[in-house]
Amino acid sequence: MDELALRGGPEAAQALDIPDWPRCPDGARENVLDVLESESWCRVYDDAQWVDRFEERFADYHDADHAIAVANGTVALEVALRMLDVQPGDEVLVPPYTFIATASAVTSLSAVPRFVDVDPDTYNVDPDAVADAVTDRTVGMVGVHVAGYPMDFDALLPVLDDYDLFLVEDAAHAQGTEWRGEKVGTIGDVGTFSFQESKSLAGGEGGIVVTDDDVLAERGQLLHNIGRQDGSVYRHYELASNARMTEFQGALLCAQLDELPAENETRRHNERALREEIADVDDISAKPEDDRITARGYCLFDLAYDPDAFDGLSRDRFIEALNAEGVPAGTGYAIPLYRQPAFSRATVEALVPADADVPAYRSLHLPGVEEVCATTVTMPHEVLLASEAGVRSVGDAVRKIRRCAPELV
């Protein structure tokens, strides 16, 4: 008879051999030591080279004409929006199921985030909800590839084109994701990525902006480097901040990028194995398979959980039991962004022009995101880097909890 680990029984996922994350790949120490000993730690100077190398290699990997490496994913979004000339009082559509930087980057320019509901099957912005959110002040959208699962470009792009709106792809989770054979990041006007240490391409911190537009790229180079251009150190052509990446980050990320394609293949293989394992468990499911997604990047692996099918076992109690069985899991973004304390109407009104139309965020009710926040169970991407046998043991843990659910209700 099963005995739950919460009740002293053996863990069902003892075989889940998750590697440490972030990893220190071959070459990382050598690269970083090269920077240390070179005494060229900042890319401003002529003998700096590692950030240049990383930009070139990441642009090549993501099929982008231009890449601008920056300090982190948050400032990548801010630079992207400035590249697109977002002005105080402009409105930018954003999804409410994402990290706060997707929306706070908008307010950092004294513009107004307007939240658009998400599709509860994919967690990404619902294209059918976009038109209803557009006003005469709307200039564009920041869309997110949540957990590395891409937005539905086929449905979304025609809507944005109808209203002449730009698209910034927040691809913080999606290093290596493809839609119809094209890497994400340049399908919209500008793409941004994060290299914070929890990401699948980890540099501790770091970010990058990619685009195929020569004019936007030239502006991005100015904006991320205090308005400098042409190698000038004390001549500034625009008022801008310093968002540069350090040479240490560039060196580390070059080594990490060497590993990413093979790691994503392992994750994809193990994702399929895990899908097989949970396929026979009623009312717990992964995001839909889609033939238009031709390659996947990963940050999280998401499951939708229906407590009604587990004898009324709550999502939080299920996660507690799953953790006890040896599977790291959590709730992900547990509340919509418009319910975050930072997104009070008064807070945003203090940042934007007096004539801006700021939504009553606390009064919003978007059913798609509220369903996702209440039902999602997430696992970090490194779970998918375990052995296949270890990944399949996650299915053993889920089935065990399902059988024993009445004991936990």
Q: Going residue by residue through the chain, which has 409 residues, state the pLDDT in tens, using 9 for 90 and above.
A: 589 999 999 999 999 999 999 999 989 999 999 999 998 999 887 777 999 999 999 999 999 999 999 999 999 999 999 999 999 999 999 999 999 999 999 999 999 999 999 999 999 999 999 999 999 999 999 999 999 999 999 999 999 999 999 999 999 999 999 999 999 999 999 999 999 999 999 999 999 999 999 999 999 999 999 999 877 788 899 999 999 999 999 999 999 999 999 999 999 999 999 999 999 998 899 999 999 999 999 999 999 999 898 999 999 999 999 999 999 999 999 999 999 999 999 999 999 999 999 999 999 999 999 999 999 999 999 999 999 999 999 999 999 999 999 999 8
Q: Give the Cα separation of 110 and 91 in Å (integer).
A: 10
Sorted by sequence, the CB contacts under 8 Å of residue 321 that are 6+ apart come out as 4, 5, 6, 313, 401, 408
pLDDT for the residue numbered 231: 72
**Cβ–Cβ < 8 Å for 253, 201:** yes
Q: Give the Cα separation of 156 and 109 in Å (integer).
A: 25
Strands (E), 130-174: 138-144, 166-170
pLDDT for the residue numbered 1: 57
Strands (E), 105-259: 112-115, 138-144, 166-170, 178-179, 182-183, 190-194, 207-211
Q: Roughly how many angstroms between the first and final C-alpha of the chain, as a whole number? A: 19
Q: Give the Cα separation of 167 and 179 in Å (integer).
A: 15
Annotation says 99 is catalytic: yes
Catalytic residue among 62, 66, 224, 228: 228
Catalytic residue among 244, 315, 392, 400: 244
**What per-residue string of b and e applies to 2-35 under the rule 16 or more CB within 10 Å gives b?**
eebbbeeeebbbebbebeeebeebeebeebbeeb
Domain ranges within the chain, ordered by starting residue: 5-22+260-333+371-408, 28-257
Query: Which residue's structure tokens are 């801010």?
Result: 78
**Cβ–Cβ < 8 Å for 398, 322:** yes
Annotation says 17 is catalytic: no
Annotation says 399 is catalytic: no
| pTM for the structure as a whole | 0.96
Annotation says 170 is catalytic: yes
Annotation says 272 is catalytic: no
Dihedral angle computed from the Cα positions of residues 177, 183, 185 and 188, in that order, rounded to the nearest 10 degrees: -120
104: left (phi over 0), alpha (psi -120 to 50) or beta: alpha
Annotation says 173 is catalytic: yes
Catalytic residue among 97, 115, 196, 219: 196
Annotation says 244 is catalytic: yes
| Helix or strand run (H / E) with residue 273 | helix 247-278
- Could you tell me how many residues make up the chain? 409
Q: Give the Cα separation of 43 and 280 in Å (integer).
A: 53
Catalytic residue among 20, 46, 136, 234: 234
Annotation says 60 is catalytic: no
* Assigned superfamily of 5-22+260-333+371-408: Aspartate Aminotransferase, domain 1 (3.90.1150.10)
What is the DSSP code (8-state) at residue 151? P
176: left (phi over 0), alpha (psi -120 to 50) or beta: left
CATH of the structural domain 28-257, one choice from 3.20.20.70, 3.40.640.10, 3.30.70.20, 3.30.1390.20? 3.40.640.10
Could you check whether the bond before residue 22 is cis, i.e. omega within 30 degrees of 0?
Answer: yes
